């Protein structure tokens, strides 16, 4: 299975659209909720369609349109979306109205827009795309499963070009609830030094990243995705065996050929220690990068990591804030390891434009 990345649209807490230099300078936050840097949506979506859209839908639709523009593609054959929590704002808005108005005279719009497939279907509606349309809603596997579906679809030849993305929004209410589960740092001096302090907890984030994937390699290709896999709630031993088998059997290359590993360290001391140990054991010679201090932790942060990995492969340059450990060598093979609160673990392997060298 192979999918060539042709275009990217990425809306995140960093300036990941319309930038001059990628992550240079990076945006620094002094809080534990990182909101996306949003574009002027009216440049992308007409007001008639825009008026009903909540933030997550606007982010999703716009990043999808950005990806298509980047790929110089008008319409994909399929649209596949991953979202852990879907349209949170509309969901909580409708729940609030049910309580406030005692189930009477309720506005239908938030209910209509609350369902998770709204993002993917709004994109279809806008593009008049009648093809395959799918939405994965399985926590921090949502984007990975969307990617897996895209890889299978390309192999089946049921689609030539696929728009695949991950979208999740942070709202006041969702942040308040997650905070009660003690997931986040109480105080954040600077997100750019998140990994310096030995503390518990991470920072919340959000984002939307869509990719145009194709089964054909050409001069438009930015990077090539070879494999994706997920693992739920493993013990440490299973986790390590899984990573080993992914590299050895699935992508079938020597460990030392992996040039860069993007590590989903979250800033949580205990979780990060395990990640560091894993990286030291398996990838002692590789460059190591981090990203969750830039995009914040959320269900589809792996989509941010994939966009980042692609930028790095294209530019052969690891942006300063991403460097965890730099080794001077060409970057051809990149592995993304994205854990999410101990429960969800995923691996994505991608390489520079053409086949593994």
Partner 1 sequence: MADLKVQIIEALNLKHLKPEDIGDDQPLFVEGLGLDSIDALELIVLLQQKHNTKIANAQDGPTIFKSVRTMAQYIQDHKSS
Partner 2 sequence: MGAPVHVAGTGVISAIGNTTMECFAALKQHVSGIAPLTSLNSIHKGVLPVGEVKLSNEQLAENVGVDKTLNRTALLGIHAAKEAIAHAEFDIHRWRTGFISATTVGGMDKSEIFFPPFLVDPTQGKLRDVIYHGCGATTDLITAALGITGFTSTINTACSSSVNSIMLGARLIQHGILDVVVAGGTDALTVFTLNGFKSLMILDDNLCRPFDASRTGLNLGEGAGFVVLVSDKVLEEEYLESLAIVSGFANTNDAFHQTASSPDGRGSFAAMQQALTMADLLPSEIDYINLHGTGTQNNDLSEGTAIKRLFGDAYPALSSTKSMTGHTLGACGGIETVFSVLALQHQCVFPNLRFEQAIPEVGIIPQKKFESIAVRHAMSNSFGFGGNCSSIIFSQGR
Phi, psi (5° rounding) for residue 253?
-135, 160
Classify burial at 237, counting beta carbons within 10 Å of its beta carbon; exposed 0-12, middle 13-18, buried 19 or more. exposed
Question: In the complex, what is the shortest distance from the CB of residue 105 to partner 1, in angstroms, rounded to a whole number?
Answer: 4
Tell me how long the chain is.
Answer: 357
What is the Cα–Cα distance from 228 to 219, expressed in whole angstroms?
24
Residues β-bridged to residue 339: 345
Residues 21-80 that bind partner 1 (CB under 8 A): 47-48, 51-52
Question: In the complex, what is the shortest distance from the CB of residue 353 to partner 2, in angstroms, rounded to a whole number?
Answer: 25
95 binds, among partner 1, partner 2, none (CB under 5 to 8 A by kind): partner 2
Question: In the complex, what is the shortest distance from the CB of residue 93 to partner 2, in angstroms, rounded to a whole number?
Answer: 11
Let me know the angle formed at the C-alpha of 6 by 298 and 67, rounded to the nearest 5 degrees. 50
Give the closest residue to 278 by CA, choosing from 332, 309, 242, 318. 242
Question: In the complex, what is the shortest distance from the CB of residue 296 to partner 2, in angstroms, rounded to a whole number?
Answer: 18
| 326 forms part of the interface with partner 1 (CB under 8 A) | no
- Both structure tokens of 5: 């990345």
Spell out a b/e string for 313-324, using b for 16 or more CB atoms within 10 Å of the CB, else e.
bbeeebbebbeb
Q: For residues 66 and 9, is the Cβ–Cβ distance under 8 A?
A: yes
Residues 88-117 that bind partner 1 (CB under 8 A): 105-109, 112
Question: In the complex, what is the shortest distance from the CB of residue 311 to partner 2, in angstroms, rounded to a whole number?
Answer: 28
Q: For residues 79 and 123, is the Cβ–Cβ distance under 8 A?
A: yes
Query: By rule CB under 8 A, what string of x and - marks binding of each residue 139-168 to partner 2?
Result: x-xx--x---x--x--xx------------
Binder among 138, 220, 221, 274 for partner 2 (CB under 8 A): 138
Question: Where does this chain bind partner 2 (CB under 8 A)?
Answer: 52, 79, 84-86, 92, 94-96, 98-99, 102-104, 106-108, 111-118, 120-122, 124-125, 127-139, 141-142, 145, 149, 152, 155-156, 176-177, 180-181, 230, 232
Question: Where does this chain bind partner 1 (CB under 8 A)?
Answer: 47-48, 51-52, 105-109, 112
């Amino acid at each position: 299975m192979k999918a060539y990345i042709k275009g990217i649209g990425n809306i995140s807490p960093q300036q990941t659209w319309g930038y001059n230099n990628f992550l240079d300078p990076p945006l620094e936050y002094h809080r534990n909720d990182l909101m996306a840097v949003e574009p002027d949506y009216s440049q992308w979506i007409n007001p008639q369609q825009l008026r009903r859209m909540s933030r997550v839908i606007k982010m999703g639709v716009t990043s999808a349109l950005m990806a298509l523009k980047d790929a110089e593609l008008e319409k994909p054959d399929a649209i596949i979306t991953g979202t852990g929590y879907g349209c949170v704002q509309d969901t909580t808005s409708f729940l609030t109205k049910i309580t406030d108005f005692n189930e009477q005279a309720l506005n239908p719009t938030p209910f209509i827009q609350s369902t998770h497939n709204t993002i993917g279907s709004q994109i279809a509606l806008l593009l008049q795309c009648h093809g395959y349309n799918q939405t994965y809603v399985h926590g921090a596997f949502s984007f990975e499963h969307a990617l897996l579906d895209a890889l299978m679809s390309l192999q089946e030849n049921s689609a030539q070009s696929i728009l695949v993305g991950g979208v999740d929004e942070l709202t006041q209410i969702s942040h308040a609830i997650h905070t009660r589960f003690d997931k986040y740092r109480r105080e954040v001096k600077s997100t750019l030094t998140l990994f310096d302090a030995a503390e518990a907890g991470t920072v919340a984030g959000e984002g939307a990243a869509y990719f145009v994937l194709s089964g054909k390699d050409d001069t438009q290709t930015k990077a090539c995705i070879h494999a994706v896999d997920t693992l739920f709630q493993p013990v440490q031993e299973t986790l390590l065996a899984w990573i080993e088998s992914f590299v050895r059997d699935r992508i079938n290359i020597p460990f030392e050929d992996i040039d860069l590993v993007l590590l989903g360290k979250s800033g949580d001391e205990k979780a990060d220690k395990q990640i560091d140990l894993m990286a030291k054991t398996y990838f002692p010679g590789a460059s190591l990068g981090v990203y969750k201090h830039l995009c914040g932790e959320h269900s589809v942060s792996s989509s941010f990591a994939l966009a980042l990995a692609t930028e790095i492969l294209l530019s052969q340059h690891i942006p300063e804030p991403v460097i965890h450990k730099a080794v001077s060598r060409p970057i051809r093979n990149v592995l993304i390891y994205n854990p999410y609160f101990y429960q969800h673990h995923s691996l994505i392997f991608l390489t520079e434009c053409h086949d593994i060298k």
